[in-house]
Amino acid sequence: MIQTTETPETEIDIADVMSLLSDEYAAGILEALKESPSTAAELRERCEGSKVTIYRRLNSLEDAGLITSGVSVQADGNHCKVYYPVVDRVTITITNEGFDTKIDRR
């Protein structure tokens, strides 16, 4: 069972998104989470990177509003943090006025 805390939709900063998507570790984590919600330990098995790298990217992705987390409570009482994406698609269009961003949320 995953317990989550509802948070208001985060304003997504285009510069943060572009920076994160250009980072191979962050992009790999997003791809893995698209397949299935995962704990940091599961992501370490599926993605390249040290424990510190995985946690840093998870924090950055969560701060940017691309992923969120909840607590998974096991039958034996143990619990762990599970991460999952909150955005299905980010579309960036270059316009005469700059960038136009469309965000498709889950």
Q: Give the rounded distance of the alpha carbon of 66 from its chain centre.
A: 4
pTM as predicted: 0.80
**What domains are defined for the chain?**
2-105 (1.10.10.10)
84 φ/ψ angles, rounded to the nearest 5 degrees: -155, 155
Residue-wise pLDDT for 34-54, tens only, equals 999 999 999 999 998 999 999
CA distance 30 to 15: 17
Ranges of the chain with pLDDT below 70: 1-11
